[in-house]
Amino acid sequence: MPSFQDLPFDIHCEVSKHLDYPSALALKKCNCYFYCHIDPNRLSPGQKQDFLSKAELFTQNKSLYICYRCSHLLPKSSFGHKQITGPRSKNASHPTHDRFCWNCAAKYRLCEHALAYRKGKKLFYLCWKCQRWGPKYERCGIPNDPTDRDFRNPGWRCCPVEPSPTLQGLPSNIRQIMLEMLGYRDSIALSQTSRLFHAVVDPSQCALHDKFRFVRDMVLRINLGNQDQQQQRSAYYACFCILPDVRFTTRQLDMARENPSRGWKRRCRSCVWRLYGDSDNTGPLKEWRARRMCRGCKLMMRKGERCLGCWEKVGEQRRLEVQEQRELMGDLEELGGLGEVGAGGELLFAAAGLDRLEL
């Protein structure tokens, strides 16, 4: 059956001329062909401005502002003071629709050269030569004559731009220490940011209790908003994957309902093959058989090792106790009491009407 994409290119152009801006933008995002050939900017500028002005009023864009030059939703820090106040503000009675961000101002020279523009509580200066904003102590100019604003002068010097440090630029040993401190959720997110971290970060190396807790909570969150029984999902805790219930056998589902304490032992077919398929490699099978369920925190642990989930819970309780002690110390110091710690761990106070306070 012929599709809309199979029509001649001339018909595509004629159809796109009769679309409004949101429809042309949706058609552009259908596939690579329309992305290369459909240009919503060719439509009426008024349609584009009306759509962008409505888009920045959406609930999810509450803290964002539209740049009418690059058509991007940007945070407040990307604009100067005059670009988000007065007639250029979101709820202006007579909006001007000519707001532009700092990058567009530098690229298209929309602001005066070497003049001060306020951003928050600081003043910044634009250099037309290097197209960069800089504060007063880093602005471009002639060292011996600060009043000369001619960037075509041979003595004009642009302030060097220092490369911003990134996580990828850190030494491998320091980066490895930081990666070992990440949780399962953060490891997954970081592994999807770049090719380097996709090759370096291995979320499967995270602690068992953290992976179990993440997958368990994710399954509960998915099933809570999904009332269709055909689309209910369950977790395989051997590989920590979340799959529909139709991928489980009836025996596995019945075991999970009748005996919830053993429901975490379900395994998918690939896990069974990985554990029992290779008789020479018994490492994965031994690691699987060493897993246990902690009776205290109900998280996964390894046999013969301390439960890290219970250890985290004790550390969190201790942190709350220390925070309460610090808040109590602050309240008593405001009353004029000076305290010190006694030999038994109690706090001794000499004033404020409290001679001894046991914690």
Q: How many residues does the chain have?
A: 359
Which residues form the domain of 149? 111-162
pLDDT band at 104 (very low <50, low <70, confident <90, very high): very high
Check residue 67 and give its pLDDT: 92
Residue 275 CB partners (closer than 8 Å, separation 6+):
238, 267, 284, 285, 288
pLDDT band at 164 (very low <50, low <70, confident <90, very high): low
Classify residue 242: in a domain, yes or no: yes
Check residue 36 and give its pLDDT: 82
Does 284 lie in the same domain as 236?
yes
Classify residue 9: in a domain, yes or no: yes
Check residue 29 and give its pLDDT: 85
Check residue 355 and give its pLDDT: 43
pTM: 0.47
Total structural domains within the chain: 4
pLDDT band at 162 (very low <50, low <70, confident <90, very high): low
Classify residue 167: in a domain, yes or no: no
Classify residue 253: in a domain, yes or no: yes
User: Is the pLDDT confidence value at 156 over 50?
Assistant: yes
- Alpha-carbon distance of 262 to 72, in angstroms, equals 51
Classify residue 168: in a domain, yes or no: no
Does 94 lie in the same domain as 15?
yes
Which of 89, 109, 129 is where one domain is finished? 109
Does 105 lie in the same domain as 13?
yes
Classify residue 195: in a domain, yes or no: no
Check residue 101 and give its pLDDT: 92
Does 115 lie in the same domain as 98?
no
Classify residue 188: in a domain, yes or no: no
User: Is the pLDDT confidence value at 318 over 80?
Assistant: yes
Check residue 100 and give its pLDDT: 92
Check residue 257 and give its pLDDT: 74
Q: Can you state the angle between helices 208-224 and 184-191, rounded to 10 degrees?
A: 80
User: Is the pLDDT confidence value at 352 over 60?
Assistant: no
Does 329 lie in the same domain as 237?
no
Does 135 lie in the same domain as 54?
no
Check residue 1 and give its pLDDT: 64
Mind listing the pLDDT tens digit for each residue in 135-154?
Answer: 888 888 888 877 888 888 88
Does 289 lie in the same domain as 239?
yes
Does 121 lie in the same domain as 68?
no
Specify burial of residue 142 (Cβ count, 10 A radius: 0-12, 13-18, 19+). Answer: middle
Residue 211 vs residue 333, higher pLDDT: 211
Which of 109, 131, 150 is where one domain is finished? 109
Does 124 lie in the same domain as 91?
no
User: Is the pLDDT confidence value at 340 over 70?
Assistant: no
3-state SS of 155-220 is CCECCCCCCCCCCCCCCHHHHHHHHHCCCHHHHHHHHCCCHHHHHHCCHHHCCHHHHHHHHHHHHH
Classify residue 93: in a domain, yes or no: yes
Residue 304 CB partners (closer than 8 Å, separation 6+):
290
The overall average pLDDT reported for the chain is 80
Does 273 lie in the same domain as 223?
yes
Does 24 lie in the same domain as 121?
no
Which of 44, 75, 109 is where one domain is finished? 109
Residue 232 CB partners (closer than 8 Å, separation 6+):
223, 226, 244, 245
Does 95 lie in the same domain as 63?
yes
Mind listing the pLDDT tens digit for each residue in 192-238?
Answer: 888 888 888 888 888 888 888 888 888 888 887 676 666 678 777 88
